[in-house]
Amino acid sequence: MWQIFHKLGSPKWFFGIASTLMPWLLVAGAALLMTGIVWGLVFAPQDYLQGNSYRIIFIHVPSAFLAQSVYIMMAVAALVTLVWRMKLADVFVTAVAPVGAVLTFLALFTGAVWGKPTWGTWWIWDARLTSMLILLFLYFGVMALGAAISDEKSSARAVAVLVLVGVVNIPIIKYSVEWWNTLHQPATFKLTEKPSMPAEMWVPLLLSVLGLYLIFGWLACLRMQTHILAREGRTRWVKELVQARGN
């Protein structure tokens, strides 16, 4: 058991696996995402309430979905870092945070642009938008702390503590923002997810969510490999690998 765990944690082993996995992730992810988007943009029927503006959903929902699950993944990795000191876990946290921040920003941006034709305003202090904004702040905090500590290992551990503190706070933040929202404005702008979304709409949506997940997986592998190369520069296998690339 421990052997497997340590093997899983070995950067060299991961590097190899990632290298074989990455082309598949990229090709499958891009194919799924493009299928989902083209289907959603061109073939899916118009929404009878919102018209064509709803087509933003095919990127908005995947971004928002990933933005949140990336933070959860980071929190799991952070826990593994602090408890078992697995090398790969802390590489994951630092490598992936900027991607999470970009996805959160995209979710906010597409949400705002979607809001203009739907609600007539770019921004409302709606519970979902507000908690997404705070999630973006959390990502910024993680990135800022990571950048401020020069030593990679201490940086990773400090970031892990922060991510965990953040993840404990996320449900509290979400709950309090919702409560605050009901206090301040009665639910006039409630965007209800229509329970019966026709299959022509949710299938492409599902495809693009899956596609973006895979693309994220590819990006995560790529960025983790970069961080490993930077960090393990002294080991023989990295030296050989780097030399091989140079020639």
N residues, the chain: 247
| 23 sits near other proteins (criterion: CB under 8 A) | no
Q: What is the DSSP letter of 67?
A: H
Residue 13 C-beta: closest distance to other proteins, Å = 18
Q: Which residues pair with 47 in a beta bridge?
A: 51
| Integer Cα distance of 29 and 129 in angstroms | 27
Decide whether 116 or 194 has the Cβ nearer to other proteins: 116
In one-letter notation, the amino acid at residue 29 is: G
Decide whether 151 or 193 has the Cβ nearer to other proteins: 151
| 28 sits near other proteins (criterion: CB under 8 A) | no
| 61 sits near other proteins (criterion: CB under 8 A) | no
Q: Evaluate whether 216 touches 66 at the Cβ level (below 8 Å).
A: yes
| 53 sits near other proteins (criterion: CB under 8 A) | yes
| 113 sits near other proteins (criterion: CB under 8 A) | yes
Restricting to residues 136-155, which ones interact with other proteins according to CB under 8 A? 137-138, 140-141, 144-145, 148-154
To 10 degrees, what angle do helices 152-184 and 199-231 make? 150
Question: Locate tokens 């693009």: which residue?
Answer: 208
Q: How many CB atoms lie within 10 A of CB 200?
A: 12
Restricting to residues 172-211, which ones interact with other proteins according to CB under 8 A? 172-173, 175-177, 179-180, 183
CA nearest to 97, candidates 136, 132, 131, 143 = 143
- Give the interface segment with other proteins, choosing from 3-11, 14-22, 159-167, 186-194 (CB under 8 A): 159-167
Structure tokens at 89: 């876990």
Restricting to residues 204-233, which ones interact with other proteins according to CB under 8 A? 215, 219, 222-223, 225-226, 229-230, 233
Non-local CB neighbours of 217 within 8 Å, separated by 6+ positions: 21, 25, 29
Among 6, 116, 121, 185, contact with other proteins (rule: CB under 8 A): 116
The site map against other proteins for 75-94 (x = CB under 8 A) is: -------x------------
| 9 sits near other proteins (criterion: CB under 8 A) | no
Helices and strands of the chain, counted as H and E runs: 8, 0
Number of residues that bind other proteins (CB under 8 A): 76
